[in-house]
Amino acid sequence: MSECFIGLMSGTSLDGVDGVLVDFTAAGAGALPMRVIGHEWLPFDEPLRQELLALNSPGHDQLHRAALAGNALARLYARLVAQLLKHCNVPGSDVRAIGAHGQTVRHRPGAFDGTGYTVQVNQPALLAELTHIDVVADFRSRDVAAGGQGAPLVPAFHQALLAREGYVVGVLNLGGIANLTLLGAHGDGSVTGFDCGPANVLLDGWHQRHRGGAYDAAGAWAASGHVQPDLLARMLSEPYFALPPPKSTGRDLFNQAWLDGHLAVGAPPAAADVQATLAELTACSIAADVQRHASAVRDLWLCGGGAFNADLRARLQRRLPGVTLRSTEAIGLPPTQVEATAFAWLARAFVHEQTGNLVSVTGARGPRRLGAWYPSK
Ligand SMILES: Nc1ncnc2c1ncn2[C@@H]1O[C@H](COP(=O)(O)OP(=O)(O)O)[C@@H](O)[C@H]1O
Ligand SMILES: [Mg+2]
C-alpha cells in the first residue's frame, strides 16, 4: 500500500492554503526521513477570506454561513489537490489519504463547561467526494475531549524530525500565531510546545488597515518605525503571556479589537511606530518564552511565513544573541511546507492507528488517535 499522503493547512493568517504531497517511504532532502514530492499554495479569494474572518466572532446566522464557507473551503482544497497531483504527475489513486486541517474559527479548549471546544470550518465529505481520496479531518477535537488544548499539534512531528540525544533544539513556527517546540530542554526525550502569542496576525491586520496589501513584506514598514515602550509594556501585560504551558491561543484573543483596546490608552502613535511595536511584541514574547523554558537552546529553526520577515528575524536575534536562528530550509523543508507536512504526517498516524498528540504539550489525559475518517467510497 502506498505511503503517499497529502497535507492541507490553512492557518490563522488567513492568507490561503498550503498543500504538500509526501512520500513517507523515501528519504528527502537533507537528512529528512520523508520526501516532499510537491508543494502548492492557493490564496483565499477575498469573499471567502472575509467570511472566514467574520466567522471568528459572533454574528448573524453563523451555522448556515459556516456550512457554506466549509463547502467553499473544500472546493478550494480540492482544486489545490488536483493542481498538486497534476504538477507531481501522480494519480490520485496513489494517495493513501488527505489530512485536511480546516479553518479554525473558534478555539476555547477547557472554557465554559470545562471541556470547551475548538471549531474548524471544513467539509471533508465534500473533499472526499470531489477528490475520490480518503480524508482525515478534525484533528484537534479528540485532544480537547481528553482535557487537552488541542494545540499545538505540530510538536510531535518536530520531535520525529529533529530530536537527537543530548541536543536541545527549538522549532519556531511564525504563522498568524507563534508556536514554539522545545526538544530535549528538560532531558532527552522531553518535548515542550505551546503558543507564545501573536506572530503575524496583528502585524498583517495593522498593515492591511493602513497600507492595504496582505502583509508587510520583509517587515520593511515595521523597520521604518520606532518602538513605543509604553505601548509595548501595556501589550506585554496581557495575562496570556505569563500563563504557564500547556496553553494555546488564536484570533479569539489576539485580534484588532485587542490592539485597539491598547491603543485607546494615551496619545495615538504614528502607524509605522505601531507596526514596529507589534513586531517587537512578537519578538519579545517569544524570546522571553525561549529564555524561560529552554535557556540551553542553541539552535532555533524558523518556519511559517514569518521566517521571510527579515525585520522580525533581526528583532528576535537581538533578543536571543546566543541562539543560531535558521530557516528550516537548511534541513530540507522550506518554511511554507512544515505545517502542511505535519498534517500529512498526522493523517498517516491516524491511518496506522497511532496516537498523534503529546500529553506534555497539549495537557490531555493521555495519548489519543487524532482525526475523523471520511472514506472516498
Ligand atoms: N515575504 C514576507 N515578508 C513578511 N512576512 C511574510 C512574508 N511571506 C509571508 N509572510 C507572513 O507569513 C504569513 C503567512 O504565514 P503562514 O505560515 O501561512 O501562516 P498561517 O499558518 O497562520 O496561515 C503572512 O500572513 C505574512 O504575515
Ligand atoms: Mg497560511
Nearest ligand, measured from the Cα of 342: 1
304 CA distance to ligand 2 centroid (A)? 8
Q: Is 16 in the pocket of ligand 1 (CB under 6 A)?
A: no
pLDDT digit string, tens, across residues 339-353: 999 999 999 999 999
Residue 131 has pLDDT above 90, yes or no: yes
Q: What pLDDT is attached to residue 304?
A: 98
Task: For residue 187, name the pLDDT band (cuts at 50, 70, 90).
Answer: confident
Distance 199 CA to ligand 1 centre (A): 9
Would the CB of 310 count as within 6 Å of ligand 1?
Answer: no
Nearest atom of ligand 1 to the alpha carbon of 174: 17
Q: Given CA atoms 362, 368, 372, 376 in this order, what sign does their dihedral have?
A: positive
**For all residues of the chain together, what is the average pLDDT?**
97
pLDDT of 198 higher than 90: yes
Q: Give the pLDDT confidence score for residue 27 in this predicted structure.
A: 86
Which tops the pLDDT comparison, 28 or 236?
236
Neighbours of ion ligand 2 (CB under 5 A): 11, 13, 15
Looking at residue 28, what is its pLDDT? Answer: 84
Q: Which pLDDT belongs to residue 29?
A: 79
Q: 371 CA to middle of ligand 1, Å?
A: 26
Of the chain, the percentage scoring pLDDT greater than 70 comes to 100
**Nearest ligand 1 atom, CA 175:** 19
Say which amino acid occupies 234: R
Q: Which triple of cell numbers denotes residue 291?
A: 529564555
Q: Which of 203, 215, 313, 316, when mutated, tests ligand 1's pocket best, judged by the most ligand atoms within 8 Å of its CB?
A: 215
Cis (ω within 30 of 0) for the bond into 152? yes
Mean pLDDT along residues 82-109: 98
Return the residue whose CA atom lies nearest to atom 15 of ligand 1. 305
Residue 324 banded pLDDT, cuts 50, 70, 90 = very high
pLDDT at 31 over 80: no
335 in contact with ligand 1, CB cutoff 6 A: no
- The structural domains of the chain, ordered by start, are 4-149+336-374 (3.30.420.40), 155-322 (3.30.420.40)
CA–CA separation, 63 and 106 (whole Å):
13
Ligand 1 site, residue 200, Cβ cutoff 6 A: yes
How far away, in angstroms, is 176 Cα from ligand 2 center?
Answer: 8
Q: 187 alpha carbon to ligand 2 midpoint, in Å?
A: 33
What pTM was computed for the model? 0.98
Q: What is the mean pLDDT of residues 208-236?
A: 97
Instruction: Please determine, for residue 30, whether its predicted confidence score (pLDDT) is greater than 80.
Output: no
pLDDT, tens digit, 9 for 90 and up, residues 290-319: 999 999 999 999 999 999 999 999 999 999
Classify burial at 58, counting beta carbons within 10 Å of its beta carbon; exposed 0-12, middle 13-18, buried 19 or more: exposed
Confidence of residue 94 (pLDDT cuts 50, 70, 90): very high
Q: Rounded to whole angstroms, how far apart are CA atoms 238 and 196?
A: 12
Is 182's pLDDT higher than 90?
A: yes
Look at residue 86 in the predicted model and tell me its pLDDT.
98
DSSP for 237-256, written as a single string: T-HHHHPPSS----TTTSSH
Contact 346, 142 (CB under 8 A): no
pLDDT at 32 over 90: no
Q: In one letter, which amino acid is 374?
A: Y
pLDDT at 188: 85
Ligand 2 center from residue 245 Cα (angstroms): 24
Q: Which residue has the higher pLDDT, 89 or 189?
A: 89
Which backbone phi and psi does 36 adopt, to 5 degrees? -85, 110
State the distance from the centre of ligand 1 to the C-alpha of 200, rounded, in angstroms.
Answer: 7
Among the bound ligands, the one closest to the CA of 201 = 1
262 pLDDT more than 90: yes
